[in-house]
Amino acid sequence: MRKLSLSRITCIIVFCTATAIVTPAQTFTTLLNFNGKNGAQPCYMALIQASDGKFYGTTVYGGAHNDGTVFTITSSGTLTRLHSFHGTDGTNPCGALVQATNKNFYGTTCCGGAGYGTVFRITLSGKLWTLYKFNNGTNGGNSNAGLVQATDGNLYGTTVNGGSGGCGDGCGVIFKKTLGGRLTTLHTFEGSDGWRPYGLIQAADKNIYGITSSGGANGYGTVFAITTAGTFTSLYSFCAQTNCSDGASPLGTPVQATDGNFYGTTAGGGTNGYGTIFKITSGGTLTTLYSFEGADGKAPWAGLVQGSDGNFYGTTSGGGANGDGTIFSITSAGTLTTLHSFDGTDGADSNGALVQGADGNFYGTTQLGGTHKKGTVFSLSVGLGPLKRNLR
């Protein structure tokens, strides 16, 4: 199997019989077309809904210097550019923001700073501080994912390069950072335990879980767990089956569902080579729930979100009726429904996870397409009512 190119920004296996169901398009709305000035090409980025009810996110390019932006957008599509990155304060933010308990947002940039990206803090009003500059040494370099705030109050994140592992520019690291600014490297990848880690989550057991897109026993990525003290466990190496039928090259952060298991996607592999949706236990037992076929989407780069109806929702970066990607839902038993096929004019290449807003609708972004071919923000209603929760 040919490995996926990741340069666009730069166990027991149980196979289930699954079916795809294509339904008429749901209520899909393009909320905003990025035009460069207000941002361009949100990548790997999930929107977050903050304590003020608005959505916040980043774009890799665009803004005053074409080095990326932080923006806020209302559910009706009114966008405000909060910050334009440039040079020493970082460039090309690629991951989602996290709103910490102090109400400020924290995030990373892939580049800029000292050359290898930064960690930053930004307020609701747009005042930004650069908290840390990566140097591609033992502390890592080039973070392409957002941060997670754990129950200990600290921030945890990854870099795709750096560290002491022998993967060219390093295999990447997992780091912990206090809100005050101190950064500690928790784990350095060596290749055999993974390479190019992306987003993290903290599970109910207080441990941190994540994926690597490459490396591992078979070279096609891993699922791992790490404690907040730095004890690392490799749970699964993809492409353990013939022709990588169990999936290859995961890029999206897994989600822990209400049943306690983790659900995620791989961008490649599966029965048809177009990617998979999987379930994995905290002990490392993996179940392939679905293999994409192309017409129902291919190459899901983003992770999943569990909706208030218990089903999982996600996107694919390609395939579908027009070849520009899809939005789908899937049950925990593996029944997939195609909800929307992008056609370029309404967006293309969605590779950031969806978020379910307080109104029950799903919100997301596309990296490309739209009026100016620089990406979009969209919403999708599938008839779910408002959520019974308080925003942080």
Over pLDDT 90: what percentage of the chain? 89
The answer to whether position 388 is within a domain reads no
Mean pLDDT, range 51-79, rounded to an integer: 98
pLDDT of 169 reads 82
The answer to whether position 152 is within a domain reads yes
The answer to whether position 33 is within a domain reads no
Closest CA to 144 of 181, 118, 183: 118
For the record, the structure tokens of 284 come out as 């490392």
The answer to whether position 130 is within a domain reads yes
The answer to whether position 270 is within a domain reads yes
What is the per-residue pLDDT across 322-334, written as a single tens digit (0 to 9) for each? 999 999 999 999 9
3-state SS assignment for residue 298: strand
The answer to whether position 61 is within a domain reads yes
The answer to whether position 385 is within a domain reads no
Answer whether residue 242 shows pLDDT above 90.
yes
Q: Provide the pLDDT confidence category of residue 389 given band limits of 50, 70 and 90.
A: low
Query: Containing domain of residue 196, as a range?
Result: 13-27+42-343
pLDDT: which is higher, 390 or 163: 163
Answer yes or no: pTM beyond 0.75. Answer: yes
pLDDT of 363 reads 98
Mean pLDDT, range 219-244, rounded to an integer: 98
Closest CA to 288 of 227, 232, 239: 239
What is the per-residue pLDDT across 12-25, written as a single tens digit (0 to 9) for each? 333 333 444 444 44
pLDDT of 21 reads 45
- Lowest mean pLDDT segment, chosen from 64-78, 167-181, 253-267, 295-309: 167-181
For the record, the structure tokens of 254 come out as 């897994």
The domain tally of the chain equals 1
pLDDT of 26 reads 85
What is the per-residue pLDDT across 101-110, written as a single tens digit (0 to 9) for each? 999 999 999 9
CATH number of 200's domain: 2.130.10.10
pLDDT of 15 reads 30
d(CA 110, CA 104): 20
pLDDT of 19 reads 41
State how far the alpha carbon of 249 is from the alpha carbons of 168, 276, 311, in Å.
19, 10, 23
Mean pLDDT of the chain: 93
The answer to whether position 282 is within a domain reads yes
pLDDT of 168 reads 77
Mean pLDDT, range 96-103, rounded to an integer: 97
pLDDT of 104 reads 98
Q: Provide the pLDDT confidence category of residue 189 given band limits of 50, 70 and 90.
A: very high
